[in-house]
Every structure is written in C-alpha cells, then in structure tokens.
Amino acid sequence: MIDRRTFMAMSAIAILTAPLAAEAQQPVRVPRIGFLWPSPPSERQYLLDAFRQGLRELGYIENQNIVVEVRSAEGKYDRLPALATELVHLKVDVIVTTASPATKAAQQATKTIPIVMAVVVDPVATGFIASLARPGGNITGVSIMASDLVGKQLDLLKQVVPIFQVVVLWNPANPGNAPQLREAEVAARKLGVRLKPLEARNPDDLDNAFAAMTKERPSGLIVLVDTMLVGHRARLADLAAKSRIPAIYGLRDHVEAGGLMAYSANLTEMYRRAATYVDRILKGSKPADLPVEQPTKFELVINLKTAKALGLTIPQSILTRADEIIQ
C-alpha cells in the first residue's frame, strides 16, 4: 500500500513531467514559403529550380523541413492580387516574389509577412523600399539593376549597328518599366540617338507595335525587362526578324528564343541569392534590417545565327567580351 507521503510525491512528479511529455509529442512546425510570380513556371522553370537549389545548399529539404507554395498568374497580372491574398491566408512565413507586379501585389496584401524580392527592376523608384541599405518595412531581397543597364545595352547596340533612331518597347502596366524608360532616354541623349517609346500592355499589342516600328524605320530596338514581354520572347524574336530590326534585350531568355543580343544580370545567381534572404528571415532577421543586394555577375549573350540572318557582322571586340555565343 502506498502511504500518503509517497502518493503526494508521485503526484507532484507526474504534474511536473506531464507538460514536458506533451511538448515532446508536439510536431515541429515546418516553415512555409510562398512563391509568387506573374508568368507560367514552366516557361522559366530554371529560375524556380535555382531558388530551390539555393534552399538545398542552406540545408532545406522541400516537404521535409520546408514547404514551398508556388502561385503563378499564368501571364495575367490581374490575377496577382488574389494569389497574394491566398498566400497570406495560408499563413506563409515568407513570400518570395519575382518582378515588380508580383511584388506590388504582395505589398498590398500584407504589411507584416516578410517579402523577399527575387528579381525587381528598381525597388526604390517603384516605392517598394526606402533605400537599398535600409529597406524599412517588410520587403527586402535582390534588385536586377535593369534601369542601370539600359545605357550599356544602347551603347552595345550602337557598336554593332550605326543607330540614329532606336525604338524602346515597354509595358506601362509594369511599374518597373518606367524607371528603365527614363534611363533609356538619358542614355540616348548622351549618345546622340533619337528615342521612340512604343507601348505593349498585353500580347495583343505586339503586332501593332511592330507595325508602328516599320513606319518609324528605326535602326535598332531595345526591349525592356518585363514578364509579359519575356513570356512572348519567341514571338518578339520572330517579329524583329521579319521587320529586320536589330534588337538588344534585358534578359538572356530572349536571345535563346532567337533574339540578337542581351546584356543583363545573371538571373540564376540572383534566385539562388534570394534563398539566403529566406534563410536569414526564418532565423530571426527582419527584412527592414537586411540591405537589398545588387547583382555582381553580368552576362553578354549573342545569337550569331540571328546576326547572319540580319546581314550583320558582330565586331570582334564585342565577340571577345561575350559570355555566351549561340551559333
């Protein structure tokens, strides 16, 4: 028989150990990451793969110690707000965005969940952050520096063809395109080139834009960084070829689809870097205190097959600087 003193001692031990046992049985919460982008993932799967590779390098194994919820607007910007709200309702720990329209949708959907920009043209000019060094708010990540590169693209194009008037194809529906256009205008004045902006808000505008280009008879074309435009890169390359307009682009995807030249940041590296922001936030860092990174790797890609079809000879000085030449 258990005496009263022994019974009370055993009861006290049971009371003290019960919470520990219950706590030990509780499952460990797996962080949930939302990934929001405007275009169909299948079109640029290598970028999502680069982000996932970055997570693996940091010790995250998908569906084991991290979950990635991918949401795509399938090229329709107006779907982004609802998808961003969906991720908020899922109570994700971080939202990773690609391109300005997705970042804007996430910014409007939440002021508390951390947002990591995988690729944004100019986060200060578009109002996403206060400054690169001190973002403030709940947004940080990587800037593609597309606006800063437009002048270099125009200069490269001028070294390949004697340009006097250049058309800039841009999308006013993308908040990241306006800063690029302003820089293009500045660069054109410095180089003594006339600049003619032409709008394309959706794929239906592309044929009309190139019809207008034919009337303008430009000596060159710059295609700004835009999700809709890169989503229709094969069509753009075909239209440029039929119009016989030498073009330079802000993303290498265009050249792989038949475009002439591209000068841009290395996007694969940027998406890998975005994973480091996710890691630091999950470990307690606040987005407001994480400086926005700018790319350190850039690439010049040239399609010689397209150059030959246009009757162009790429100067040897440009070819030796190319990071990749597509034959």
Average pLDDT, the chain: 89
d(C-alpha 223, C-alpha 213), whole Å = 13
- Under the banding of pLDDT at 50, 70 and 90, the label for residue 277 is very high
Question: Closest by alpha carbon to 34, among 50, 51, 18, 22?
Answer: 51
Residue 302, strand partner residues: 261, 325
d(C-alpha 119, C-alpha 97), whole Å = 7
Amino acid, single-letter form, for residue 177: N
Structure confidence at residue 224 (pLDDT): 95
Domains 32-144+267-296 and 146-265+299-326 share a fold: yes
pLDDT in tens, 160-193: 998 889 999 999 988 888 889 999 999 999 999 9
Q: By mean pLDDT, which of 10-14, 128-132, 251-255, 278-282 is the weakest?
A: 10-14
3-state secondary structure of 125: coil
Structure confidence at residue 247 (pLDDT): 96
The residues, ordered by sequence, that sit 6+ positions from 246 with a Cβ below 8 Å of its Cβ are 157, 160, 161, 219, 220, 221, 240, 260, 261, 310, 312
Q: Is the pLDDT of residue 96 over 90?
A: yes
d(C-alpha 94, C-alpha 290), whole Å = 14
Parallel, antiparallel or unpaired: strands 261-265 and 247-249:
parallel
Question: Closest by alpha carbon to 287, among 138, 129, 123, 91?
Answer: 138
Tokens 């300005």, residue located: 100
Structure confidence at residue 13 (pLDDT): 53
Structure confidence at residue 74 (pLDDT): 87
- Under the banding of pLDDT at 50, 70 and 90, the label for residue 63 is very high
Structure confidence at residue 14 (pLDDT): 54
Question: Closest by alpha carbon to 31, among 281, 277, 240, 300?
Answer: 281
Question: Closest by alpha carbon to 143, among 162, 119, 169?
Answer: 119
Q: Which fold does the domain 32-144+267-296 belong to in CATH?
A: Rossmann fold (3.40.50)
The residues, ordered by sequence, that sit 6+ positions from 49 with a Cβ below 8 Å of its Cβ are none
Domain 146-265+299-326 classification at class level = alpha beta
Furthest C-alpha separation in the chain: 105
**Which has the higher per-residue pLDDT, 57 or 119?**
57
Tokens 């405007």, residue located: 38
Q: Is the pLDDT of residue 84 over 80?
A: yes
- pTM as predicted: 0.82
Cβ atoms of 298 and 265 within 8 Å: the answer is: yes
- Under the banding of pLDDT at 50, 70 and 90, the label for residue 43 is confident
Q: Is the pLDDT of residue 159 over 60?
A: yes
Taking CA atoms, 223 is separated from 107, 162, 184, 316, in Å, by: 27, 18, 11, 24
Tokens 């200069």, residue located: 155
d(C-alpha 174, C-alpha 122), whole Å = 12
Quick one: average pLDDT of 266-275?
93
Q: What are residue 281's phi and psi, to 5 degrees? A: -70, -40
- Under the banding of pLDDT at 50, 70 and 90, the label for residue 19 is low
d(C-alpha 98, C-alpha 96), whole Å = 7
Q: What are residue 296's phi and psi, to 5 degrees? A: -115, -15
Q: Is the pLDDT of residue 5 over 70?
A: no
Tokens 């030249």, residue located: 261
d(C-alpha 2, C-alpha 7), whole Å = 6
Spans of all domains in the chain: 32-144+267-296, 146-265+299-326
Question: Closest by alpha carbon to 188, among 225, 220, 216?
Answer: 220
pLDDT in tens, 125-136: 888 999 999 999
pLDDT in tens, 197-253: 999 998 999 999 999 988 888 999 999 998 889 889 999 999 999 999 999 999 999
